Structure 1
Amino acid sequence: MYRVWNFITNYSLLLIFGALIALIWANTDPASYHAFVEFPLIEDFFFGALHDDGQGHLVRTLTLHYLVNDLLMAFFFAVAAKEVWEAVILENGSLRGSKALTPLFATAGGMAGPILVYLGLAAFLGSDVYDAVSRGWAIPTATDIAFSYLVGRVVFGAGHPAVRFLLLLAIADDAAGLIILAVFYPSAALVPAWLLVALAASVTVYVLFNWLPRRMDAGKQHRPNSTWVRNKLSFWPYLVAGAISLYAFQESGLHPALGLLPIVPAIPHADRAFGIFAEAEQYLTDLLNHIEHLLKHPVEVILFFFGLMNAGVEFSAIGAPTWLVLAGLLVGKPVGIFLFGWFAARPMKLGLPAGMRVLDLIVVGFVAAIGFTVSLFVASVAFESGPVQDAAKMGALFSFAAALLSLVAGVVLRVEKQKD
């Protein structure tokens, strides 16, 4: 139980506190809350939201909201991308080989189901509703990996194979979510040439501070050049390249919060991965894991401010988008994960991990329906500020109901908890 509580304090409490403060603030003094969120930090800056200065010139103003959502959240997505990158690239990565096929099929179902439910119900409600909310189709596809992991451990027990299955599904869901954000939700008109700048930054730091030192160390047991780069330069070259990539993403029209993604593969990584939140990873000494460890506490603080900046929705905002997002998550996710997972495990004979039943897929589906963090983020980029965005955010917040449904499903379907 101590390890579960330790996990809550490390990954969840600050985000929850930020969201709760935002909800209370927005429902008691909405004017001051919105003034705080949109508080201008620096006028006419390199980074910020574009607007007309009143003299016919477009300038960028760095607001508190832009700082958190568009710049600082890049570190959160970089940590998620690190897990995806290791799962794909390392020889024993969790998304490589046949062992990942059933979770990948389940992930596809966990995205297709919510989209079909969301858009299908929107169409049923009429063309006016559909036209107003259709852009939010990706909101219920998200799975909050941290909260889902926590609830999964409570429902199944830390040693149950369904928890590992859930993590594989969540990592794949994160990867798909990053692609969706990049492709379907650009922040402005696309200027692809700027992406070459981000690519050049990534290639440069890879060649100079990763490939070249290893090349020079060929045949040298103590790896003097790689060690010097690791000890003396540390993360600084990658931080500079990351700043360049962030700016390039902003200017390209893609969401700046994705700007660190090209840099992650350029950082020297370990030859093995123990999995997300694995305690053993603290003993790895490669630069990529070192950077992740350095980011751990800053990202927790960033998530507090993310909750504070984005969860401030008035309860009067509840509307059709709220119920569409909830239906997509609470109905579409479990049904999609169960159907696609069953099809992969049985008709396709790809199987499930030893000790995991087909019925456990239903419970996994409810656990994965906790969208929260990523759903809030997608809602903030899918819609302009206003009633539709607020209503969609409320659906993301209400997705915590999936935790209760997961506990009920675990009891009804007689999940046998397994300890470490």
Structure 2
Amino acid sequence: MNKIWNFVAEYSVLLISGAILALIWANLAPGAYHHFVEFELFHGGPIGHLHDDGQGHVTRSFTLHFLVNDVLMAFFFAVAGKEVWEAIALKNGSLRGKKAFTPLIATAGGMIGPVTVYLLGAAALGKFTLLANGWAIPTATDIAFSYLVGRLVFGPGHPAIGFLLLVAIADDAAGLVILAIFYPQGDLAPAWLLMSVLAAVGAYLLFNRLPRRLDRGRQDRPNSTWVRTKLSYWPYLAAGAISWFAFHKAGIHPALGLLPIIPAMPHAEVDYGIFAAEEAHQHDLLNEAEHKLKIPVEGILFLFGLMNAGVEFSAVGGATVLVLAGLLIGKPIGIWLMGSLAANTLRLGLPDGMKTTDLFVVGCVAAIGFTVSLFVASVAFPAGPVQDAAKMGALLSFAAAAMSFAAGRALDARGTGGAPAATDSGAAGPTAAE
């Protein structure tokens, strides 16, 4: 349990602190807060938010908000993307093979359910045109908080913990795709993505593949060692900067710009899982880069909370209700229905020791959107009352924790405990059908 608390302390305490400070500041001195967030560092450069002066001249404005949300958050998404990529691509990856089928189908339900509830609610409120673009906000799951709550609800070692992790990881992967496709930043210019591809391929061929090829048959691996010790991760950081710029120019959110570089880096051969203790002892370049990013990402998440959670309590509105309804109603029902379909109707099974009713509890836990929901809200709507109302829904999604404890008690979530604690490593365990 200490490892879980340590993870939450590392990645979440500063985020919450930033969010609380933003809430206090925005409600006590809203003018000063928004002036701080939109403080312009420079104007007219090649990067930044598009700014129209009202006279037909469009330039770019590089603000503190842009620095945090579009530049620095790229490192947060790189860490999340690294875990997703390992789960999909590496041996024993938790999203590979038959063991991932039921969680993946449940994840689909956990996205379809919130979207359906959100859009139907927007239509029922008569504000479909105004609010429909926020449909993706309630699809998110905050991995750190949901994992912590899941451990407390189900108890250590319960097989539902590994299942929850698979759902959260798959949810994040789908969320990255949604951000890239459905929330462009300005006019789309996909030809720029060729620059990103070339940067990733070039980094892989020159600094990963070529040294290993030159070292074939040589146990001392001089070329790979030289690249590793002298150049380290700097070639990949340079390639990441090029990829980031390409995403920015392509009209795709640049916070996703480092993702194409992740597969290019030297990496471990086996995925030990998102919370596995073994990862701390892996010395491949990809894992070491993640270790170096740990402390900076903590600070970045503090700044993210400070820049994005500053909404006035009076901002509660239709978007707040829709985001909460999507998360608290759509996600549990969606995960339960689609998970039951996969496990029972399609006979794909559940991890040994997990029962069908646990799926609903997993859905309640996964309804904690927070970090990613806040991020999507900031790009789904322009700054203003609607965006603030949507952000308030993301902040209030912590209510899912209380709902999870109530559902877990009512459905006896702890009654099937006793599965091996190895599920903490991120594997869902064998399915009943295997």
Q: Which residue identity is paired with 1:275?
A: G
**Deviation of residue 170 (structure 1)?**
0.7
**Deviation of residue 160 (structure 1)?**
1.2
Contact 2:370–2:398 (CA under 8 A) maintained in structure 1: yes
**Deviation of residue 89 (structure 1)?**
0.9
Q: Which residue identity is paired with 1:229?
A: V
**Deviation of residue 56 (structure 1)?**
5.0
**Deviation of residue 3 (structure 1)?**
3.4
Query: Aligned equivalents of 2:105 and 2:181: distance in 1?
Result: 21
Query: Aligned equivalents of 2:345 and 2:172: distance in 1?
Result: 27
Aligned residue runs from structure 1 range 9-408, under 5 A: 9-52=9-52, 57-126=57-126, 129-408=127-406
SS at match of 1:263: helix
Q: Which residue identity is paired with 1:95?
A: L
Moved more, 155-164 or 392-401: 155-164
Query: Aligned equivalents of 1:54 and 1:350: distance in 2?
Result: 58
Query: Aligned equivalents of 1:101 and 1:289: distance in 2?
Result: 27
**Deviation of residue 9 (structure 1)?**
1.3
Change (3 A) 1:2 1:96: closer
Q: Which residue identity is paired with 1:43?
A: H
Q: Deviations over 1:250-285 (max 9, x none)?
A: 111111111111111111111011111222101111
**Deviation of residue 407 (structure 1)?**
1.1
| Count of residues in correspondence between the two structures | 418
Moved more, 31-40 or 216-225: 216-225
**Deviation of residue 53 (structure 1)?**
5.5
Structure 1 stretches of 4+ moved >6 Å: none
Q: Deviations over 1:343-365 (max 9, x none)?
A: 10001110001111111111100
Query: Aligned equivalents of 2:54 and 2:396: distance in 1?
Result: 40
Q: Which residue identity is paired with 1:74?
A: A
**Deviation of residue 224 (structure 1)?**
2.0
Query: Aligned equivalents of 2:156 and 2:258: distance in 1?
Result: 32
Q: Which residue identity is paired with 2:69?
A: N
Report the TM-score when normalising by structure 2: 0.94
**Deviation of residue 46 (structure 1)?**
2.9
**Deviation of residue 4 (structure 1)?**
3.7
Query: Aligned equivalents of 1:224 and 1:41: distance in 2?
Result: 45
Q: Deviations over 1:3-43 (max 9, x none)?
A: 34323311210000000000010001000000000011122
Query: Aligned equivalents of 1:97 and 1:341: distance in 2?
Result: 17
Query: Aligned equivalents of 1:289 and 1:212: distance in 2?
Result: 21
Of 396, 406, 409, the match for 2:407? 409
**Deviation of residue 159 (structure 1)?**
1.3
Q: Deviations over 1:125-152 (max 9, x none)?
A: 22xx111100000000001111111111
Query: Aligned equivalents of 1:89 and 1:114: distance in 2?
Result: 28
Query: Aligned equivalents of 1:251 and 1:192: distance in 2?
Result: 9
**Deviation of residue 55 (structure 1)?**
7.1
Query: Aligned equivalents of 1:251 and 1:279: distance in 2?
Result: 39
Contact 1:7–1:150 (CA under 8 A) maintained in structure 2: no
Query: Aligned equivalents of 1:124 and 1:219: distance in 2?
Result: 68
Q: Deviations over 1:216-238 (max 9, x none)?
A: 12222232222221111111001
Query: Aligned equivalents of 1:136 and 1:74: distance in 2?
Result: 22
Q: Deviations over 1:311-338 (max 9, x none)?
A: 0000111001100000000000000000
Q: Deviations over 1:364-419 (max 9, x none)?
A: 00000000000000010000011111100000000000011111111111122558
SS at match of 2:382: coil
SS at match of 2:252: coil
**Deviation of residue 210 (structure 1)?**
0.8
Query: Aligned equivalents of 2:403 and 2:55: distance in 1?
Result: 55
RMSD, aligned α-carbons: 1.3
Query: Aligned equivalents of 1:144 and 1:96: distance in 2?
Result: 22
- Percent identical among aligned pairs is 67
Query: Aligned equivalents of 2:86 and 2:28: distance in 1?
Result: 45
Stretches of structure 1 lacking an aligned partner (at least 5 in a row): none
Stretches of structure 2 lacking an aligned partner (at least 5 in a row): 422-434
**Deviation of residue 54 (structure 1)?**
7.1
**Deviation of residue 58 (structure 1)?**
2.9
Query: Aligned equivalents of 2:351 and 2:222: distance in 1?
Result: 43
Moved more, 203-212 or 219-228: 219-228
Contact 1:48–1:61 (CA under 8 A) maintained in structure 2: yes
**Deviation of residue 156 (structure 1)?**
1.6
Contact 1:325–1:395 (CA under 8 A) maintained in structure 2: yes
Report the TM-score when normalising by structure 1: 0.97
Query: Aligned equivalents of 1:48 and 1:85: distance in 2?
Result: 29
SS at match of 2:59: strand
Query: Aligned equivalents of 2:155 and 2:222: distance in 1?
Result: 45
Query: Aligned equivalents of 2:56 and 2:248: distance in 1?
Result: 21
SS at match of 1:50: strand
